[in-house]
Structures are given as structure tokens and as C-alpha cells.
Structure 1
Amino acid sequence: MAQETANSQENSNDLGTITVEAEALSIVTEGTESYRAPLTSTATRLDLTPRETPQSVSAVTQAQIEDFNLDTINDALESTPGVTVERVETDRTYYSSRGFEISNLQVDGLRLPMPYNNVHGDIDTAVYDRIEVVRGATGLMSGSGNPAATVNFIRKRPTDSPQASVSGTLGSWDRRRLELDVSGPLDDEGRVRGRLVAAGLDTDSYLDRLHRERGVLYGVLEADLTDSTQLALGHTWQNNNTDSNMWGALPLYDSAGSPTNYDRSTSPAPDWSYWDGETHRSFVELTQRLSDNWSIKGTVTHLDMLSDTKLFYIGTVPDASTGRIPNSFYLSKFDRHLEQWVADIHAKGNIEAFGRTHQLVLGSDWSQSRVQQSSLYAAATEDLPPLDEWDGSYPEPEFGDPDFVHDVTFKERSLYSAGKLDLANRWTAVVGARLSWLDHVGEQYGSSQDTTLDNELTPYAGLIYDVTDQASLYASYTEIFNPQTATDRNGDFLDPIEGTSYEVGIKADVFDGGADAALALFRTEQNNVAQLVGNIGGRDVYEGADGITSEGVDVTLAGELTPGWQASVGYTYLEIEDAEGEATNTYIPRNMVRATTSYRPASLDALKVGARVRWQDDIERERDFDDSKTRQEAYALVDLMASYDINENLTASLNLNNVTDEKYLTSLKWDQGFYGAPRHVMANLTWRY
């Protein structure tokens, strides 16, 4: 895929002028030291600057990933404005934005259906150049889902010139990581290029007994079949092995309602529990330039993901007088297989009309995801001592036959189109629509998932007015839908949940064009949400009702503020209410700050120093076992970094995370939780050619 950048390490694959308007890949952040992504196509598939995109957008660039050792997607998204990372367990994570669960992911702009809105295991960042996030309803490119955000993972691609790097990291809790990245042409003419990325991690944890091993291998080839035709194909393998992982987490209060306040290292996992996962992701792309302004691209991807686990869940709270936990436990052997196919074909280019130039994209996509799950259960045999005294010893059970078998296939196909219309001097419209067909078949926990939707229309509209050459006002209206399986009085499935986002704001190029600034006011609504209204013949009956509404403010700044000073800063304010006007989803903070910054002084340009700050106000949730609430007070996490270029090839760096040693719960999404990592350190040595 052709890629353009001003840096000498760019992926600009000339291909004799096959610069094919390269999707979200048209700007790579690798090698730029920038905290800003100048172009994005995540929202509309059009190549737009942040000012030209009538929604809130953010990016975590390669420089941020390297500066702060953000080697998992969870780490990267914790640096993203307006996003919360709900680490509910050690190996299962939810994400939220604007009061809703994020249910939409993309890879290289191609939608990646996300069954059940969570991620199993850690996704390694070694494969990716950057991570882009568009907040609000994103149905135009994402299909069905929640009006929260879309997260787009942009893969690294082969480079025109040879380059290589080897990076090694040592850290607290016997952390060891090694990463290799080699790229460049494979023939004398440079018409065939390749890239190979490999990474391995082996680490203990601040949590008792927890141990992780992770391996990643990514290979990609690009070939110029002709001067106007390019073929790309690649494969990613990742293996996650976790010993003594959590299923659920710690009880947060005892039988008298008092907070348990365990040590941060306390874990409810026995020594025999594990969560292993293996992922294979393949893709093939064919791009054909049709003219100087038009190209067509077809992509097919295949995902195969296997999970194998033995799990232990505490289903009660400790006795207030003894600290012991009665044997209300769930012991399970859980297996999961996700197989997914996604295909997309689209044409993109410029058209001339009414004396002006407009951008247009026309396309179609199709996906099929099959999820198969089974659980084997065993009975608990004994109580547990107080968790902060427990060594993880518990009889490993013999598991019987599966208590349930889960098998669901999700199919979705669509036609879509979007355009950037140059209406008049200083006036631009970004408009689009998606027409979708869905077919879900199978059973989940004994409940039928058979659902069919036809001709579901999803509009997209944005209007931009350039107040000056550096600043623009904008307004947008976006939608998304989500099918549901609740039934009405006639036994028919309810119509889909409707998600709608309204957004107005101002965006500007600041600091002599080196940075992007934005202020957004938004309102997001979910309507036609299933509400229980009765029971007929033993069958629950539902009707559609108003759901959650969120309103708030996003303020962001990203880029170079002065020579050598990079920053990405975001503040988010949220109000989240249910249909009765009461505050809801109170586990999501109402005020958040996400900030990363680095500085390379001109007088000592071998040195770089930086900081990352994550602050949120207090959160709470109602307890399951009594009428009280569990609270997490406001807290700030501060990370520091410093790196030094020993010579032109060798760089040493040091990261000190949670420097104030803050004790905090990673999430209150569930009635259980666990504590985040205490102060810890990582030292890194990187060689580059």
C-alpha cells in the first residue's frame, strides 16, 4: 500500500506513481516523533484531516507507543481522550466512550465485528503504526453497534528502503520483552517489499501467582504487479498464555458491608487456573489505479481465535468476623472459538461538479462471524481462608460434561457511500449513507439469536465552515443501530436499538500548523431499548423504550507545540442519564484527563524526557449484596520517561510508572474488582539501522 510522509523513513512506495489514495494508511507516524496523525479515514473512508472530519478524533501514534512502552492496546487506549478501559479481569477487557460500551473495531479501516463487546487477552501493539479513535455513533463505516466510538488499528507496512530494529526491555516483576522489526525491498527494483515483526514477552506480576507469556509474529508482502496494480498479503499470529488468571475479581466488601481493602497483590485465582488464547489473522488486498484520481481496492480478511481456560469465580462475599469465604464458587473449563471472514470492495476518487472538486467513495462489505463456546462445571468442595492469607491452593476439580453449548453465526452485508462536497467558499459538507442486511442464527445460553434485518439505513451528515484559514466550525449528525432479541407480545423481535449522536464544535490548526486543537459539544442517545412489561405463558414480554442519554464536552490538543515539544492532551466531561433522568453507568467517570507529552531540547537533542497523566474523578456502583455503594475516589496516575541516543543507532530509555504509587481499582463496571499496578520501572535498549 502506498504511503506518504515527509520523514526519510516514510512508506511512500512510489510504484511509478501508484500513490493510490491509501485509505487510513496515507500517513504513517513511524519515525516522525509526532503525537499527531495528520490524516484519518476511520469515520468515512475519505482521506480527511482532523479539521475536515466532523466528529471528535484522536490518535495514539508510534512515538507515543515507543516513548511510554505502550505494548498492549489496553495501554494505548488508556492514553486516548474520552475512552475508559474497564479492566474487569486480568484477561477480559471492555472499553467505553461517551457513556456506552465500545462495540466496533477496525483494522486498516476494515470493520472487525466484536461479539459481546469485549477483548480476550492482551492485543500487542508491535504490529501497529498507530491507533485511531472516532467518538460518537459511527454506523457509516462500522455497521451495527453502540453509539460509543470506533477504534481503528493501523498496521505497519513495508518500507521502500531497508531498515531494522531490535528492542529489549527489562522491568519490575521479572519483566522481559524482546521485539524485532525488519523491513525493506526484496528485489533490486524495489517492486516487491516485505516486513517482518516478532515480539515476545515473559513476565510475573504484582498480583499473586499471575504469570504471562505472549508471542507475536507478523509478516506482510507488497508487490507491484504492474505500474498501476498492487497486491498485498499478510498474516499475524499471536499467542497469549496466562497462569493464575482472574475470572471475576476480588470481593469489594464483606458480609457486613465494610470495604475489604485487600493488598494490591491479592488475587482470587488458584494456582491451577489459566487462560490461553491463540489468534491467526490473515489478509489479502488488491489495489488498482483506474486513473490519476480514482482507484479501486478489494480486501479479504480471515480471523481464527481460540481460547482455552480453567476458571475459578467467587460468588459471594467474605464473612465479616473471620474473613473466610464460604464455598459459593463457580469452577469452569471454558472453551471458545471465533472464526470470522470480512470482505470489502470500494472505489474512491475525485469528481468535478459545479466548478468544484469533490471526494467520493462507493463500496460494499460483507462479514460472517461464528462464535462457539462451551463450559464444563464442577462443584466447590471447601471454603477459602481470608484472601490476603491464601496461597492459591485449592483442589483442582474433574470437570464433567458441558452445561451449555453456545453456537451463533452473525452475518452482515452492506452498501455504503460517502462524499466530501465542496459547497462554496469556506463551506464543506461530509455526507454518507449505509444500507445493511443482517442475519443472526443460533443459540446463546439457551436463548435463540435468530434475527433478520433488511434494508437498515444509516445516514451520516456533517457541515463545516472555515471561519479562517486555520479554524473551522462544524456540526454533525450520525447514527448506528444494534439488533436485539427481546420479543414483544406477538413473539416478534423488537426493532433494533437506535443510536444517534449530535455534535457541534470548533477545530483549529494551532502552533503554526504543528498541532490540532478541538472543542466539541455532544449529545448521544439510545432509543427503542428493550424494557420488560410483562409475562405471557411463561415468556417475558418487552417493548421498546428510551434508553441512556449522554451529553458532554470534549477538548483535545495534539501535535508539536514548539520545536521538540510534542503533546496529546484531552479533557472530557460527561453527564449520563437513564430514561427517568437519573444518573446511570456511574462506574464511568464524569471528568477525565488524558495527557502525554515529551520534549527534546535543542541544546541536547540526544535527550528526550516526557510524562503521561491519567486523571479521573470519583466513580461508584450499587452493590449486588446490600443497598450500599462501592466508591473509588478520584485519582491521578503519573508516568515519567527519559531516553538518550547513545549514537545514531543505539537508544536507551527508562520508564517509571505510577510514580506516586497510587492505589486504585481498575474498574467498577462489575460488583467485583482488583487494584492497578503499584510503582514500577522498565528499562529499554533499542538498536536501529
Structure 2
Amino acid sequence: MSMSLRDTPQSVSVITRTQLDDFAVREVNDALELATGISVERVETDRTYYTARGFDIQNFQVDGIGLPLVFGNVEGSLDPAIYDRIEVVRGGTGLMSSLSDPSATINFIRKRPVRDLQASAGLSFGSWNYRRLDADLSVPFNQSGSVRGRLVAAHEDKGSYLDRYQHRKSLFYGVIEADLGASTTLAAGHNAQYNDADSPMWGALPLNDTSGNRTGYRRSTSTATDWAYWDGKKAGSFLELSHFLDNGWQARAVLSHNRTTEDSRLFYVYGTPDPTTPGSDLFSYPSEYEFENRQTLFDVIANGPFSLFGREHELMLGASRARSTSDNTSYYGQGIGTEIPALEDWDGSYPLPAFDAGIDGSRFKDRQNSIYGAVRLNASDRLMLLAGVRRTSYKSDGIAYGEDRTKNYPDRTTPYYGASYRLGETFSLYGSYTKIFRPQTEVDITGSRLDPVTGKSYEAGIKGEFFNRKLNATFALFRARQKNLAEQAGTVPITYYAASDTLSSEGYEFDVSGEAWPGLQLAAGYTFVDIDNADGRDARTFIPRRSARLAVTYRLPSMQAMKVGASIKWQDDIHRINGTASTGSRAGEDIRVRQKSYALINLMARYEFSKHLSATLNLNNLTDEKYINSLYWEQGFYGAPRNLNVALNWTY
């Protein structure tokens, strides 16, 4: 709907293309770490989860169209090169997506063709033999530019600070737009990304021994063998028809198809080191996996103004239909349970086993249909009211590890209410409410999918626009309650989950972004969140209660060709309970694994030799901080030490 950030009754952050380029962001993981309140949970080298306001982010969109039935994680290295910007809407978004979560919705906005010739290319080098080539070309196919196309391509090859790990990826994106008339546009596009990881980690490092002490491995320590790999392809196609009417109404229909395939040969290490016995007390679990997921989504939406009681308002109506199929096959390796050498001395050597100890897997087919509508009422010059509703039907058929897992869910109605009140030229008060309903793809130890998550979400706050709308600021209070949330409970023989009791999340956040001073671009935020279980005790303690983000760049007034900047990510202490100690003086006590508060500081500098040629230097983790990437699982691994990246960029 045609609402400004100030009038939108939720907290919003926008990660711009300029920010992505300034800080040499080549992964969505790094991009989302620029956003207020987002925790990036890097549980393995090639699998990542995201949380906001205490809960997992499950809602992902492209160009405002939801991608339902995703698994809540990104596998491989998702590259943002094809996107113009990334929008983050925090809080429950039951109106925007049929999967209503109190965390956030991530909306990726694709690059589109422009009417004039536009081109750019980049060449990057960095630590651990990092190499990357980028190209972006937009071309008009006729003199008026009514038919135009855009092509984006990139290739990246890099080593790692982790022992044995290497990663390569290639991506391609092409789109053509054609103006069928003065008011109608047809667009068609396709994108594909190939990930090729050698010696990836499946699972991670044991973080404690049986006496409760931290293991304290080197940052480079890996559990991967020299023969392990994790390859994947993510591809998507879309067809979009947009039409604008003379009365201000517009309609859009989008058909999209997405396919993800993975082929992997992995090595999991389980167990807990015992300092009182010889050997490592760590054991092998080799396995091969094949995975395929196909999604087909059709969405049609129309919105426009209407008059009532002498005022102009806005109405939005839409419907969507989605289908997803998922196939997963596991080939268990011989020698499961063989003890391996201590990780301090291990070089990844392990005989390649035959993967014929057993075959199992799962197949699911999910179907989801939604109709939705919303109305924005301008009740007065100051007061805006927003009300909407989404009706969703969901059905899941499947077989998991030999058992029928078919589930039929009753149709659910998700209401949404919001309001915004302008206090003057600068500030507005706002509030919103929505119900939570989200079917889950996570399974328990028997392979059965968990029941849907249900609950409620509230938000209220104040927004401001400054310096002729060049700077936007938001202060938000939020609260959410939900039950049946999937909590990771184990990894062997499959990654399985258990449904939690009622969890509540409440807190506040501050976000500011824009041009704070001529030449000074700023994006900053602070979040406090308190998560409790049904007994009022702290829950999900692996998520930081307090976190802050800052990204600032400044173009030197005395040297306009030079831009300098810094980004800072800070979070306070996190911890998790990893069972009980069985040896030593603390036997019988809880093992508390803790990551102390830390800050990561990145610096950048760009010099423009001409309007076409520039060079950028990025220095990451300036203080060489040693930290655990995530405590989302009972295992974890360390983040990258200080590293350097240099890029040469050409634009036309």
C-alpha cells in the first residue's frame, strides 16, 4: 500500500545497495547483520538461521511476494548481488504473509532494467585467497526503452580460515521488461546460483568437556574430513504482469517457480571430550544426502484509492496459491560410531566409507491457499487506521522415515490492525496487532511434523522524519506470546525438534537511518528483548538480550573523491545449558556454555579515480576478536579473524 515509512505501523529497516557495496557484503548473512535486531545464527559453515525479537524468522519475500513453506534457514551462501535492496519489517506480519511470525519479514527487492544503458564490473581480492568477479548490465532494446533487459553475473572462489574448507559459487540473473502499452508492463526473469563447498562442517565443535570446562579450540579447527562436500543449486523463475488504471488503481499478477537441489557427503562428529580418559571421546557419523525442494506460487493483488465521507482512502485485495514438494534421502555410511583422534591434532583424514549401511528419507507435499484484504482509512488529517484479514488453508501430505505424516489443518483467519497518528510535521505515534499462525516443517524424533505455532503479537511506538525526510527514526515497544515453537532437540539420527510451551517476548528497539549531515550516511539501532517460558524463567538464552548496530560512511568535504566508513556489531552475553557435568569437581552441575559480550568493527575506504573507476578497501574484525558464531545449537564454531578485501570497480 502507498504508505511512507512514517505511516507504516511497524518498525522497518532498509539495507541499501550502497551499504552492500560500501562494506563489500557478498552474503545475505553479512547483509542482515547490518539490520537492527537481527541475529544471524551461523550454526555450520553452510547452514544459517535468523532470529528477531527472540524468535526464528520464517518469512522471506521477493519483490513483496511471499515464499511460503521455507525451512527457516539458508543453506549455502546466498548472494545479494541480484538485489537492489533488502527490506526488514520487524514484528508480526500476518497481513503481508500467510505465515504470521512475531519476528520479522525479509523482503528482497530484485534489480530491474532501466531505460538507459547502464553497466558496471568489479574485481575483488582478499584474505585466504579470496577472488571474485562481478558484472551488471542493463540495456534498452529499442530507442524508447520500452523493451529493456538486465543481466547480473558473479563468480567467487575462496579459501577459509577454517582448516580444509573451500567454497566456490556462481550466479546468474536475467530479466526482460516490456511496456505493452502506456499502463501495462510484462516482466520475465530467471536466476540461478551454484554453491560448491569442499570440507564443510556438518554440525560443529563440541564447546565443553565432561567436566564442564570450555574446549577452547583454535579458530581454524574443523570437524570436516578431506573428502566431505556440500553442493547445491538455487534457481527461480518469475512472470509478472502489472497494470495501472487511470483512477489510481493498480493490479499485479505474479507466477513464480523456485527449485533447490542439494547433493552432499558429510561427516558429523558427536560426543563430549572426557579429560580423565585417553582418546578423544568423539565419534564419527558419515552420511550422504540428496535433497530437492520445488515451490510454485501464484499471487494476484490489486490496490487503489476510493472516496468515503469526503476523504480519500485505500483498499487492497489479493489471493495466492502455493504448492511445495520436498524430497530428502539419507544414505548412512559404514563405521558410524568409530572414535576419531582429538580435534587439536586431527588433519581431517578418515577413510572414505561405503554409504550402504541404510537408506531412509522423507517426502512432503504442501499446499497453501490464501485470500486477503486490507483497508487504510484516513479518518482525519492526522489519524490513519489500517485493518486487514487473511484467510489461509493449509494441507500437508507426506511420508517420513517410513511413516505416513499427512496433516490437514483447519482454515485459519489472521486479522491485522494498525493505526498511526501524526503529532505534527515531524513525529507520529503508531500501534499494531496481529494473530500468529504458522505451520511448521520441523519434525520430532519420530519424523512427525510439529503442530502449528499460534499466538499474538503487539507493537507500539513513535516515528520521526528529520532534515526534509532525509533521516528516519523509530522507537518501538513490542510484545508477543506463542506456543508450540520448534526447539532443536538433537541431530542424530536426523535433526529433530520438540514443541516448546508458551514463550513470551517483550522489549524495545531504536532505529535511525538516512543522511544525518551533508555527506554523512547513518544506519544505527539498539534492541533489548526479554524472552520467558511459561514459568517466567529466561528462555532462548542463546539470543542476545541487548544488541546494537552502526554503519556510517562520510564523504570528505575537502576530498570529494574519498569516502570512509565503519560498521560495528555489538551484542551482550549469551549462554546455553549443555547438559550436566559427569566428571571433576562440578559433577552433577549444569554445564553452562557462555559467549561473553563482544563487538566486531569493520572499516572501509573508497577512492574514486574518476566518475567511472574506483577502488575500495575493507578491513573486517579490526580488533581480531575471537568469538563463537552462535549458541543456537549445542555445538558451535568460531568466527573469522581479522581479514582484508580490496575491490576495483568500474561503472558506466
Question: 2:139 maps to what in 1?
Answer: 184
Tell whether 2:586 aligns with 1:631. no
Give the corresponding residue for 1:318: 273
2:344 counterpart of 1:388: yes
Which residue of the partner structure matches residue 222 of structure 1? 177
Question: Are 1:656 and 2:619 matched, yes or no?
Answer: yes
Q: Per-residue CA shift, 1:242-291, capped at 9, x if unaligned?
A: 00000000011123222110010110100011100011100000112232
Deviations 1:106-146 (A, max 9, x none): 01111012433111111101000111111111121211253
Residues 635 and 423 of structure 1, relative CA distance in 2, 3 Å threshold: same
Aligned counterpart, 1:470: 426
Worse overlay, 293-302 or 509-518: 509-518
Which residue does 1:481 correspond to in 2? 437
2:371 maps to 415
Question: For residue 451 of structure 1, what is the amino acid of its counterpart?
Answer: K
Q: Cα gap change, 1:448/1:614 in structure 2, threshold over 3 Å: closer, same or farther?
A: farther
- Kept in 1, the 8 Å contact 2:283–2:340? The answer is no
The residue type paired with residue 630 of structure 1 is V
Number of the residue aligned with 2:216: 261
Q: 2:27: which partner in 1?
A: 72
| Amino acid corresponding to residue 615 of structure 2 in structure 1 | A
Q: Aligned residue for 1:537? A: none
Tell me the SS of whatever aligns to 1:51.
coil
- Alpha carbons 1:60, 1:132 under 8 Å: kept: yes
Residue 88 (structure 1) aligned with residue 38 (structure 2): no
Aligned-residue CA RMSD (Å):
2.0
**Residue 405 (str. 1) matches residue 368 (str. 2):** no
CA contact (8 A) 1:140 1:480 kept: no
- % same residue: 46
- 1:186 deviates by 1.1
- Structure 2 residue aligned with 1:520, among 471, 476, 479? 476
* Alpha-carbon distance in structure 2 between the residues aligned to 1:624 and 1:371: 33
AA at the equivalent of 1:685: L
The CA deviation at 1:483 is 3.1
Higher alpha-carbon deviation: 445-454 or 93-102: 445-454
Q: Secondary structure at the match of 2:96?
A: helix
- Judged with a 3 Å threshold, the aligned counterparts in structure 2 of structure 1 residues 481 and 138 are, in CA distance, closer, same or farther, namely same
Equivalent positions of 1:138-153 (< 5 A) are 138-153=93-108
Q: Distance in 2 between matches of 1:459 and 1:202?
A: 47
Secondary structure, aligned partner of 1:371: strand
Is contact 2:285-2:337 (8 Å) kept?
A: no
Question: CA shift at 1:546, angstroms?
Answer: 5.4
CA distance in 1, matches of 2:259, 2:393: 24
Q: What amino acid maps onto 2:593 in structure 1?
A: T
Cα distance in 2 for partners of 1:327, 1:581 equals 36
Query: What are the superposed Cα offsets for residues 67-94 of structure 1, whole Å, 9 maximum, x if unpaired?
Result: 0011111010111101100000000110
Name which of 591, 606, 611 aligns with 1:643. 606
Q: Which residue of 2 aligns with 1:458?
A: 414
Deviations 1:629-684 (A, max 9, x none): 10000000000000010011001010000000000000001110000000000000
Question: In structure 2, what is the Cα distance between the partners aligned to 1:115 and 1:425?
Answer: 41
What CA deviation, in whole Å up to 9, does each residue of 1:590-630 have, x standing for no partner? 00001101001222111100000000000000004632110
Q: Which amino acid aligns with 2:242?
A: T
Asked if the contact 1:428–1:463 (Cα under 8 Å) also holds between the matched residues in 2, the reply is yes
The corresponding residue for 1:123 is 78
Instruction: Report if aligned partners of 2:288, 2:331 keep a CA contact under 8 Å in 1.
Output: yes
1:153-552 matched pairs, under 5 angstroms: 153-321=108-276, 324-326=279-281, 328-378=283-333, 379-380=335-336, 382-400=338-356, 402-446=358-402, 448-483=404-439, 496-527=452-483, 547-552=502-507
* 2:508 is equivalent to residue 572 of structure 1: no
| Partner of residue 561 from structure 1, selected from 516, 522, 545 | 516
- The alpha carbon displacement at 1:467 in A equals 0.4
Aligned residues: 629
**1:177 and 1:221 mapped to 2: Cα distance?**
26
Deviation digits for residues 217-259 of structure 1, max 9, x if unmatched? 0000000112222100000010000000000000111232221
Q: Deviations over 1:329-350 (max 9, x none)?
A: 2111011100010110011111
The whole-number CA distance in structure 2 between the counterparts of 1:484 and 1:78 is: 25
Aligned to 2:2: 47
Separation in 1, partners of 2:549, 2:73: 22
Find the counterpart in structure 2 of residue 132 from structure 1.
87
Partners of 1:494 and 1:308 lie apart in 2 by 26
- Give the Å deviation of 1:57: 0.8
Aligned to 1:60: 15
SS of the equivalent of 1:398 reads coil
Counterpart AA for 2:651:
R
Amino acid at match of 2:117: P
For the 8 Å contact 1:478–1:501, the answer to whether it is kept is yes
Q: Name the CA distance, whole Å, in 2 between partners of 1:670 and 1:447.
A: 27
Q: Is the 8 A contact 2:272 2:282 kept in 1?
A: no
Task: Check 1:669–1:445 CA distance in 2 against 1; reply closer, same or farther (3 A cut).
Answer: farther
Any conservation in 1 of the 2:284–2:338 contact (CA below 8 Å)? no
Secondary structure of the structure 2 residue equivalent to 1:50 = coil
Q: Offset of 1:401 from its aligned partner?
A: 6.1
TM-score by length of 1: 0.88
Do the aligned residues in 2 keep the contact of 1:323 with 1:386 (CA within 8 Å)?
no
CA contact under 8 A between 1:203 and 1:211: conserved in structure 2?
Answer: yes
Distance 1:89 1:494 in 2: 24
Q: Displacement, 1:184?
A: 2.6
Gaps of 5+ in 2: 488-497, 582-589
Residue 57 of structure 2: aligned partner: 102
Contact kept? 1:137, 1:499, Cα under 8 Å: no
For the structure 1 residues 555 and 366, does the alpha-carbon distance in structure 2 shift closer, same or farther, using more than 3 Å as the test?
same
Q: Distance in 2 between matches of 1:463 and 1:449?
A: 42
Q: Which moved more, 1:442-451 or 1:679-688?
A: 442-451
| Structure 1 residue aligned with 2:584 | none
Contact 1:183 1:195 in 2 (8 A): yes
